[in-house]
Amino acid sequence: VSRLDSVIRRLSAQRYVLNFVAPFVAAIPGPIIEVGLGNGRTYDHLRQLLPGRRIIALDRQLCAHPSTVPPAGDLILGEIGETAKGLSGVEAALLHADIGTAFPEVDAETRRWLPPLAVAATRQGAYVASGLELAHQQLKPIALPADIEPGRYYLYQRR
Ligand SMILES: C[S@@+](CC[C@H](N)C(=O)[O-])C[C@H]1O[C@@H](n2cnc3c(N)ncnc32)[C@H](O)[C@@H]1O
């Protein structure tokens, strides 16, 4: 597959997973955490799926379209491996992370620091959706339907 095919499949899987999990998240109190705001497209989708819910977004720099810049206080800039430590105990209902890269060594490092931070920032029963596989005792993998190609996206429930 080309890189274009690959990004289309990843984003289709991302949208599928977020659409699938949104009704469950709607019943769970707490903010949403968007790890990797980027252009803000996913942020926009999340705020449409869960209207009125606080969404805290993280990125190393602001590069979102002006229409999807989070309100003051809900945007945290800096290296997420450091800034996300400040979200420990916020009891988020959903944490979504789209910070995979095409560089295996970078992704291996992210897979090391992200799972404990995701667990610390979410409440029991919350959901964690990620483009990278996350291994943690307190993240129970949720099976996705067969039409999502294995390895494209991952969904977990926080134990
Ligand atoms: C693939 S983009 C996210 C795209 C986003 N879902 C959207 O709708 O536009 C990943 C973003 O995460 C940010 N990022 C990746 N790793 C990071 C890290 N360790 N610390 C801070 N930001 C990071 C990048 O700057 C980039 O904007």
What atom of ligand 1 comes closest to residue 61's alpha carbon?
A: 25
What atom of ligand 1 comes closest to residue 81's alpha carbon?
A: 19
How would you write the pLDDT of the chain (159 residues) with one tens digit per residue? 999 999 999 999 999 999 999 999 999 999 999 999 999 999 999 999 999 999 999 999 999 999 999 999 999 999 999 999 999 999 999 999 999 998 999 999 999 999 999 999 999 999 999 999 999 999 999 999 888 888 999 999 999
Tokens found for residue 118: 């995701």
CA of 125 to the centre of ligand 1 (A): 25
CA of 113 to the centre of ligand 1 (A): 15
Q: How far apart, in whole angstroms, are the C-alpha atoms of residue 61 and residue 75?
A: 10
Three-state secondary-structure class, residue 53: coil
Is residue 115 within 8 Å of residue 132, measured between CB atoms?
Answer: no
Lining ligand 1 with CB less than 6 A are: 36, 38-42, 59-60, 63, 79-81, 98-99
Ligand 1 pocket check: which of 48, 60, 132 to mutate, most ligand atoms within 8 Å of Cβ? 60
CA of 59 to the centre of ligand 1 (A): 6
Closest CA to 43 of 90, 75, 13, 83: 75
CA of 37 to the centre of ligand 1 (A): 6
pLDDT at position 122, please? 99
CB atoms closer than 10 angstroms to residue 78 = 13
Q: Which residue has the tokens 């903010």?
A: 31
Closest CA to 156 of 133, 139, 134, 132: 139
- Host H or E run for residue 45: helix 41-49
What atom of ligand 1 comes closest to residue 36's alpha carbon?
A: 12
Model confidence pTM above 0.85 = yes
